[in-house]
Amino acid sequence: MPDLRSADRALERLEQQGYRLTRPRRAIVAALYQAHSWLRPEDLLARARRTCPGLGLVTVYRTLTLLEGLGLVRRIHVEPGCHGYAPAGLKHGHHLVCRSCNRVLEFPGGEDLRPLIHRLARRTGFVVEDHVLELTGRCAHCR
């Protein structure tokens, strides 16, 4: 059963930030939160078109960028050169991604990765601004 309260909270957050709750945005948010796994933008478009037939892919990408910027969705890297999106339930979370059924489980990002990040930055000269941790494998159901 989809967690419609989460979709409602996402729409409420958009509105609080001064964004209009257009029909396309509502359709995209609803489709994203009703999914039981991550969705590629093209898949999200197909689902959202069920309630908003004139929706275009550019609007999906713009809305996903907006939602990601507000911390409402997270980008999931699933294959080289490919990504999808999943609702973000935690302020800072990481993901377990099942390669069989595409299920995404979010877990808290409370681990202290600062020592590792500091070593890598010192060794490479890279300035790390943020991080994403994603673990892939097979969920309990698919094993």
* 49 in a structural domain: yes
CATH of the domain at 60: 1.10.10.10
* 110 in a structural domain: yes
Q: What is the pLDDT of residues 73-129, one digit of tens each?
A: 888 776 666 777 877 764 556 778 888 887 777 777 666 777 888 899 999 999 988
Give the chain as a 3 state SS string.
CCCHHHHHHHHHHHHHCCCCCCHHHHHHHHHHHHCCCCECHHHHHHHHCCCCCCCCHHHHHHHHHHHHHCCCEEEEEEECCEEEEEECCCCCEEEEEECCCCCEEEEECCCCCHHHHHHHHHHHCCCCCCCCCEEEECCCCCC
Residue 37 CA, chain-centre distance (Å), reads: 10
Summary mean pLDDT of the chain: 84
Residue 72 pLDDT:
87
* 143 in a structural domain: no
CB atoms inside a 10 Å sphere around CB 27:
23
Tell which residue, 86, 78, 77, 41, has the closest CA to residue 59.
41
pLDDT at 4 over 80: no
Containing domain of residue 14, as a range?
4-137
* 81 in a structural domain: yes
Residue 79 pLDDT:
66
Residue 2 pLDDT:
42
* 142 in a structural domain: no
pLDDT at 44 over 70: yes
Structural domain count, the chain: 1
pTM for this predicted structure: 0.69
Tokens 């979370």 correspond to what residue? 93
Residue 25 CA, chain-centre distance (Å), reads: 15
Residue 75 pLDDT:
83
pLDDT at 49 over 90: yes
pLDDT at 40 over 80: yes
Percent of the chain exceeding pLDDT 70 equals 88
